[in-house]
């Protein structure tokens, strides 16, 4: 059973309107999603290395602003989620 990193606040999939989730079934398999489409958790293996980067820590402590993400592929999607999880 895979471990999950839970988001501090659920994010609805509509936030990523332009991202074609249907073209990336592996992403859908790595998420815990509510009936209404809110992302509640993501597989730990997908975000842990991104979360551990120094910039994420500085943003979470308030020393830097959260970057604006242009989600175009799996990597940029998981990078965006890394700023919303607690590990």
pLDDT per position as a tens digit, 12-25 = 988 888 888 888 89
pLDDT at residue 1 above 70?
no
C-alpha angle 1-42-66 in degrees, rounded to nearest 5:
155
Instruction: Determine the Cα angle at 12 with ends 62 and 76, to 5°.
Output: 60
For residues 6-34, give the mean pLDDT.
91
Number of residues that this document lists for the chain: 87
d(CA 62, CA 78): 21
What is this structure's pTM? 0.87
Contact 19, 69 (CB under 8 A): no
What is the model's pLDDT at position 39?
A: 95
Q: Which residue has the tokens 């991202």?
A: 19
Please state the domain extents for the chain: 4-82
Side-chain-facing half-sphere of 21: CA atoms under 13 Å: 15
């Amino acid at each position: 059973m895979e471990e999950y990193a839970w988001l501090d606040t659920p994010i609805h999939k509509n936030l990523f309107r332009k991202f074609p989730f249907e073209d990336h079934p592996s992403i859908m398999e790595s998420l815990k999603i509510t009936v209404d489409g809110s992302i509640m958790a993501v597989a730990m293996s997908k975000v842990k290395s991104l979360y551990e980067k120094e910039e994420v820590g500085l943003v979470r402590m308030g020393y830097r602003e959260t970057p604006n993400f242009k989600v175009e592929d799996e990597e940029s999607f998981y990078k965006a989620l890394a700023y919303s999880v607690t590990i």
